[in-house]
Amino acid sequence: MHGSSRQDFVSISFDGQGSSSYNNSKQWRRQSCWRKWKQLSRLQRCLLLFIVVLLVICGLASYPSLTKHLKGLTSGDQETEGGSTSIQRPVVPHLLPEPIKQIQPALTETLSQRRLPNKRGPPVLQNRLQKRGNASDTLMDDVADGKKEDRDEGAIRWRGTVIDANRAVEDVKDGENKDSPTNQRAKLPKDADTSRLEAVRDAFRHAWKGYKDFAWGHDELRPISKSYSEWFGLGLTLIDALDTMWILGLKAEFEEAKAWVATELSFNKNVDVNLFESTIRILGGLLSTYHLTGDGLFLEKAKDIGSRLMPAFNTPSKIPYSDVNIGKGTAHPPHWTSDSTVAEVTSIQLEFRELSRLTQDPQYQAAVAEIMRQVHMVGGKQDGLVPMFINTNSGQFTHQGVYTLGARADSYYEYLLKQWIQGGKKENQFLEDYLQAVEGVKKNLLQKSSPNGLTFVGELSHGHFSPKMDHLVCFLPGTLALGAHSGLPVDHMVLAKQLMETCYQMYVQMETGLSPEIVHFNMHHGSTQDIDVKLADRHNLLRPETVESLFYLYRFTKDQKYRDWGWEILQNFNKYTKVSTGGYTSINNVRDPDYPSPRDKMESFFLGETLKYLFLLFSDDPDLISLDQYVFNTEAHPLPIWPAS
């Protein structure tokens, strides 16, 4: 952003005299120049004056600090080089208008994408961070609040930790009294929560209007150009949003979508689909909608797509290929590799297991169980952490030595815990692998930023730690909280709260109040801000992970601040990503509130996940998708926890 500056100088020669004139006195030079100026014709003098004025204007326009200052005069708060704020003015909320010029081309999306506030001035942390203690406190001090207890008979023991799978851990408030003012739910009147629920419904209706008007029956809406894009040609947005409409009580919209599923949705197409994305969005969405509505139409469609995805498992190692032609019944890896992504092959289990349970056909569960067996046994892990790729021929990890909880590995860890919960907390191998992985995260990936001591999860590459954290990692606070609710150690909840604060700061420290795709944390003493964002990482895809975790944290703690944070995020989605003619758009630059640079794409997960989790966050009904009865797949589609047999 700040490269080496280069200034261009223009030399104008008035006649053919040599450089000896520069050795004379200053007075002689002034007189000589004036005499030569008077000798020029009026036309020549006008031309020279025009050139000088033009050069001055160009110099002013290209001088960075001056233009930055001028921009601040007209646009309100502006971050300065030193981290101070120049001028503060209120920002008027706005909708993205219809395009009157060609939108800046979107930055190239990275391969790592799995599904892939108002102006705030400089990134300054909220006061609450300054009350959390010294930033030099060790991580072990922060997560040592949980005490080991003796539990009832039948408890599971793991490395000295006693886990009660039949009893949820009562949340400990980090030393706070549960009756203290900060934990009172009377901060907001009940009608405030109701208005927030209606605001989510309004956001959904607005997004749905754009989809219905310009992309009906297609995969994704392009709201700026009022068109659509296809990925698989299977109505991804519509299917992903089915259970959201049901949960939000939008029955008219649901009936419209159901009619399309009944009359238009066909999987008998000569098209390649991604096994993972089709499983979590289509199969998961259909199974969830079947359970919520009891309508057999959705189960029949789920059986159809499930059976058409099975050729992916016909590999030498039984590690599935990434792509399936659902019309031809063939499958293949990506054209550039024979590897599959670890997260993708280990995050299809909830859906296929449930399909077997409903159909009484064991082939689906057997196929995904074999994957988990092999991943459990194969070498290449580090303290329970897995590499990002696995070979479909050999069944071995590839690109070893790189460990992340971001893209290509994230939902492996999520599904370890959730398979254990889905199966009634009986399959202890999943639990053991999950607990080991959490310890591996603490040991290898957990660090604190400077100057404010934000706890974050970085990456490890061949022994070298990188303070890089994907927004995708913000699933982790919710997963840790769910584990603690399910009887796992109390320090999981402590860590969940710390990471939840960090994920919120990834939003609040950006000028738009929306998180970038990737951040880098400063770890050097003397840093003035905790978070840096590279130019290529400043996009926001309307992702759900942070509001997902806010939902879990609020459900288990009832701390009103999590609702308030979610409300801020929704308001900023409305301010910077809402398109006036319908729909919401991803944006390229969360650091430019004046022109966030819309990408002209509304991902299906904005309706399938982001708005659904916001609605559940604001709902006061604990039985609305009870977490003791349902487990969410990684696309936010709730599936039932199996009854005890």
Catalytically active residues are: 277, 410, 517, 545
Asked if 606 and 389 count as a contact pair (C-beta separation under 8 A), the reply is: no
Q: Calculate the CA 434 to chain-centre distance.
A: 22
**Dist. CA 342–CA 388, nearest whole Å:** 5
> C-alpha distances in angstroms, 516 versus 432, 502, 519, 547?
33, 13, 7, 14
Tokens representing 414 are: 């999520």
Asked if 244 and 283 count as a contact pair (C-beta separation under 8 A), the reply is: no
Query: Where would I find the H helices in 76-181?
Result: 127-130, 139-142
- The residues facing 382 across adjacent strands are 385
**Dist. CA 352–CA 302, nearest whole Å:** 10
Asked if 321 and 331 count as a contact pair (C-beta separation under 8 A), the reply is: yes
Radius of gyration of the chain measured on its C-alpha atoms: 29
**Strand, helix or coil at 312?**
helix
Element (DSSP H or E) covering residue 482: helix 476-485
Residue 338: phi and psi, rounded to 5, are -100, 15
Asked if 281 and 604 count as a contact pair (C-beta separation under 8 A), the reply is: yes
Asked if 403 and 459 count as a contact pair (C-beta separation under 8 A), the reply is: yes
Amino acid found at 532: D
Tokens representing 288 are: 């969830």
Amino acid found at 316: P
All residues at 6 or more sequence positions from 605 whose CB lies less than 8 Å from its CB, including other chains: 115, 240, 281, 542, 543, 544, 635, 636
Asked if 472 and 547 count as a contact pair (C-beta separation under 8 A), the reply is: no
Please choose, from the candidates 532, 530, 553, the residue with its C-alpha nearest in 3D space to the C-alpha of residue 448.
Answer: 530
Return the exposure string of 440-471: e unless at least 16 CB atoms fall within 10 Å of the residue's CB, then b: bbbebbbbbbbbbbbbbbbbbeeeeeebbbbb
**Dist. CA 83–CA 528, nearest whole Å:** 8
Please tell me what DSSP assigns to residue 304. Answer: H
Residue 459: phi and psi, rounded to 5, are -130, 155
Amino acid found at 167: R
Element (DSSP H or E) covering residue 455: strand 455-457
**Dist. CA 507–CA 568, nearest whole Å:** 9
**Strand, helix or coil at 239?**
helix
- The residues facing 402 across adjacent strands are 461
| Residue whose entry in the numeric block shows the structure tokens 């399938």 | 608
**Dist. CA 305–CA 282, nearest whole Å:** 8
All residues at 6 or more sequence positions from 192 whose CB lies less than 8 Å from its CB, including other chains: none
